[in-house]
Amino acid sequence: MNPNPIPKLIALGFVTFALLVLASAGSYVVEPGTRGLKVTLGKTSENFLPEGFGFKAPFVTSIVYVNVRQRTQSVKADCFSSDLQQVKIDLRVLYRVPEAAVVQIYREFAGDPFDSLIAPRVQEAIKEVTALLTAEQIVKSREEIKKKALTSAAQKIGTLLVVEDIVVRDIVLSNELEKAIEAKMVAEQQANQARFTQLQSQVEAETAVISAKGEAEAIRVRGEALSQSPAFLRWKIVEKWNGRSPMVVPGGADASEASLLLPIGPAEKSAKP
């Protein structure tokens, strides 16, 4: 008689399940974009674990995962300008955890280190920068504010975290201040337009004077040429002759000015006997 196989199957299933649990407890996988830390009975390892598969002591060692990808967080700052105007600035901070600081950050900061390390430093940096500018300059100088705040925040944070960039998303002023700045900008544009119109009129006037001087000089030169060479005038008259019978105009006493030939137009021809 064959023995009952059910107990053997149950035992085999139990052993298989135990092996699976043991294998799962004794191995780990560090996903891309993260680094792992071994924590054995409350003690953190000195080195982080790279991406990939590995083994660990089951039940006594746990793996803590730290995200090292670049992340973006929002920061809002209530600032005051140099002319004591309140300015609210909405920022976006791009940051990441460097590999060299993974162990130290886990040991010294609970949760996401952004709230305790980056946000207050960025707020402090942006307030220091805006305090040196007027409200109008703050509105016009976003890029300058961003660069100075980024440099200052990086110095305050140190090497624990890397602030890749700061984006000035929005600058909010009071309604009264916005209207005052807008009115000033309109006035400046009108003044610039008036200066341009004045300059344009001055250039046009100078151009007209130069043109008149040039025309007067040309007339003078032509007059001198005609007075020095009367034959030139006769040549011009002949050049304009229409081929009809000429009319003789007596010249002066000088033999060289004895007569002048003029073309006869239709009116003169009909009037001639």
Q: In this predicted model, what pLDDT tens digit does every residue of 25-34 receive, in sequence order? A: 778 889 998 9
Q: In this predicted model, what pLDDT tens digit does every residue of 102-151 receive, in sequence order? A: 998 888 887 788 988 899 999 999 999 999 998 888 888 889 999 999 99
Least confident residue range of 6-15, 128-137, 148-157, 255-264: 255-264
What's the whole-number mean pLDDT along residues 224-238? 66
Q: In this predicted model, what pLDDT tens digit does every residue of 69-87 receive, in sequence order? A: 999 999 999 998 888 888 8
**DSSP codes of every residue in the chain:** -PPPSHHHHHHHHHHHHHHHHHHHHTEEEEPTTEEEEEEETTEE-SS-B-SEEEE--TTTEEEEEEE-S-EEEEEEEEEE-TTS-EEEEEEEEEEE--GGGHHHHHHH--S-HIIIIIHHHHHHHHHHHHTTS-HHHHHH-HHHHHHHHHHHHHHHHTTSSEEEEEEEEEEE--HHHHHHHHHHHHHHHHHHHHHHHHHHHHHHHHHHHHHHHHHHHHHHHHHHHHHH-HHHHHHHHHHH--SSPPEEEE--SSGGGSEEEE---HHHHHH--
Rounded CA separation 223/257 (Å): 18
What's the whole-number mean pLDDT along residues 90-100? 93
Tell me the whole-structure pTM to 2 decimals: 0.58
Q: With beta carbons less than 8 A apart as the criterion, state whether 89 and 60 touch.
A: no
What pLDDT is recorded for position 196? Answer: 76
What pLDDT is recorded for position 178? Answer: 62
Taking alpha carbons only, the member of 37, 65, 31 closest to residue 51 is 31
What pLDDT is recorded for position 213? Answer: 79
Of 112 and 181, more confident: 112
Beta pairing, strands 61-67 & 34-40: antiparallel
- 71-173 in CATH: which number? 3.30.479.30
The DSSP symbol for 164 reads E
What pLDDT is recorded for position 228? Answer: 66
What's the whole-number mean pLDDT along residues 157-162? 89
Residue 93 banded pLDDT, cuts 50, 70, 90: very high
Which distant-in-sequence residues (6+ apart) come within 8 Å of 74 by Cβ? 90, 91, 92, 93
What pLDDT is recorded for position 268? Answer: 47
Whether pLDDT at 1 is above 60: no
Percentage of the chain beyond pLDDT 70 is: 70
What pLDDT is recorded for position 60? Answer: 74
What pLDDT is recorded for position 168? Answer: 92
What's the whole-number mean pLDDT along residues 242-248? 58
Computed over every residue of the chain, the mean pLDDT equals 78
Taking alpha carbons only, the member of 153, 89, 163 closest to residue 121 is 153
Of 193 and 186, more confident: 193
What pLDDT is recorded for position 255? Answer: 46
What pLDDT is recorded for position 74? Answer: 93
Question: Hey, what's the torsion of the CAs at 189, 195, 201, 203, to 10 degrees?
Answer: -120
Q: In this predicted model, what pLDDT tens digit does every residue of 195-204 receive, in sequence order? A: 878 888 888 8
